[in-house]
């Protein structure tokens, strides 16, 4: 694609040669002659002098310290957003070709398939399912009886979705994720053994959710485990039965959320944190990495620490612990002074 054509897409102005052919996207340190890159963070401006990219997207105010005749400039309002737009465009071109239902897939009775879908090799879809328009299901996925998947979804390879789940539109699920496995519920028998509590509910995933690889979302004991609209979940996250997650909440890798906990909207939970069961976390809460949350949170804000507390409090506490050596010395001094004075 010609640079002038890209410029139209991002509503930018070309300085230099607009006729060069751009075939891809690159990092400023490594991009080649036929690639376009960007500078958004001033720390990266120094790379303008050495980049081998054919074109660099820059902001309206950017001024090159070194003029470079061999590098075209594409000047835009927001270089980062423009860059994402181009990334999306190049990405889409590649995946457009997936369409059709492979001969090796098996689709159960009374299952409805939308138009323009792609179903890869060795995909098993049970009876009474519904797959929406434009949805792509990659190879070796298993989708059990009665599950419905909306329009425009991408289910990557080796995903398992148990029966009767509901997946909205434009949902992306990465490989190895398991949706709708049984919640971990047992009643103790008198002899110390356990009896399984049937998990008869399902999982409901709303529109525009993305779920990372090898993440597990258990079905509800009764009712639904609910992943709200626009939620983004990273890899290896564990969501237990009857959990509810509010819209546009973001959950990083290896987080675990125990049964029946409700998380608000627009929360951010960093990697490896854990939230115990039956809690309520209000909207707009930020939880740091590897934090343990064992009480409900009712105030928005940042929470950190092995035992979650408001971040400032946690920091002050951490400093006190680091000052323990000094405190011990002050006590020893006092003891010495008292002894001397006696």
Q: State which of positions 228-247 bind a copy of itself (CB under 8 A).
A: 230, 232, 234-236, 238, 240, 247
Q: State which of positions 60-79 bind a copy of itself (CB under 8 A).
A: none
Does 27 contact a copy of itself by CB under 8 A? yes
Does 301 contact a copy of itself by CB under 8 A? no
Does 281 contact a copy of itself by CB under 8 A? no
Cα(290)–Cα(293) distance, integer angstroms: 10
Residue 132 CB, nearest distance to a copy of itself (Å)? 19
Beta strands in 182-312 (DSSP E): 186-188, 194-196, 202-205, 210-211, 216-218, 224-227, 232-233, 238-239, 244-245, 250-251, 256-257, 262-263, 268-269, 274-275, 280-281, 285-287, 292-293, 301-304, 309-310
Q: Which CB, 17 or 157, lies closer to a copy of itself?
A: 157
Q: Which of 10, 258, 281, 287 binds a copy of itself (CB under 8 A)?
A: 258
Asked about 241 being catalytic, the answer comes back as yes
Among 4, 67, 56, 69, CA closest to 29: 56
Q: Which residue of the set 110, 174, 241, 278 is catalytic? A: 241
Q: Residue 43, by phi and psi: left (phi above 0), alpha (psi -120 to 50) or beta?
A: alpha
Does 84 contact a copy of itself by CB under 8 A? yes
Cα(242)–Cα(280) distance, integer angstroms: 12
Does 286 contact a copy of itself by CB under 8 A? no
- The stretch among 15-23, 52-60, 62-70, 208-216 that binds a copy of itself (CB under 8 A) is 208-216
Among 176, 189, 175, 234, CA closest to 209: 234
Does 252 contact a copy of itself by CB under 8 A? yes
- From residue 62, alpha-carbon distances to 22, 79, 225 in Å are 22, 10, 48
Does 178 contact a copy of itself by CB under 8 A? yes
- The stretch among 55-63, 64-72, 109-117, 327-335 that binds a copy of itself (CB under 8 A) is 327-335
- The stretch among 2-10, 44-52, 55-63, 191-199 that binds a copy of itself (CB under 8 A) is 191-199
Which residues are annotated as catalytic?
241
């Amino acid at each position: 694609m010609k640079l002038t054509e890209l410029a139209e897409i991002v509503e930018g102005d070309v300085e230099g040669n607009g006729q060069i052919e751009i075939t891809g996207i690159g990092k400023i340190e490594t991009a080649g002659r036929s690639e376009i890159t960007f500078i958004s963070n001033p720390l990266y401006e120094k790379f303008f002098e050495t980049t081998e990219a054919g074109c660099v997207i820059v902001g309206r105010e950017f001024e090159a310290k070194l003029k470079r005749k061999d590098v075209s400039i594409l000047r835009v309002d927001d270089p980062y957003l423009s860059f994402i737009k181009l990334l999306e465009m190049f990405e889409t071109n590649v995946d457009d070709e997936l369409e059709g239902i492979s001969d090796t897939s098996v689709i159960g009775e009374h299952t409805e398939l939308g138009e323009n879908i792609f179903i890869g090799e060795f995909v098993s879809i049970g009876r009474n399912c519904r797959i929406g328009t434009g949805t792509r299901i990659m190879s070796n996925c298993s989708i059990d009886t009665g599950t419905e998947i909306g329009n425009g979804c991408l289910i990557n390879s080796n995903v398992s979705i148990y029966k009767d789940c509901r997946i909205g539109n434009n949902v992306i699920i990465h490989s190895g994720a398991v949706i709708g496995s049984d919640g971990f519920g047992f009643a103790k028998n008198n002899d110390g053994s356990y009896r399984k509590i049937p998990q008869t509910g399902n999982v409901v995933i709303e529109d525009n959710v993305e779920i990372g690889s090898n993440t597990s979302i258990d079905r509800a004991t009764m009712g639904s485990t609910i992943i709200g609209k626009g939620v983004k979940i990273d890899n290896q996250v564990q969501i237990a039965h009857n959990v509810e997650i509010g819209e546009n909440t973001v959950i990083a890798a290896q987080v675990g959320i125990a049964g029946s906990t409700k998380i608000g909207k627009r929360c951010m939970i960093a990697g490896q944190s854990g939230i115990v069961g039956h809690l309520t976390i209000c909207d707009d809460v930020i939880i740091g990495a590897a934090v343990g949350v064992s009480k409900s949170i009712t105030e928005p804000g940042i929470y950190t620490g092995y035992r979650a507390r408001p971040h400032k409090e946690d920091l002050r506490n951490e400093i006190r612990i680091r000052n323990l050596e000094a405190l011990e010395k002050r006590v020893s001094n006092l003891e010495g002074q008292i002894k001397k004075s006696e």
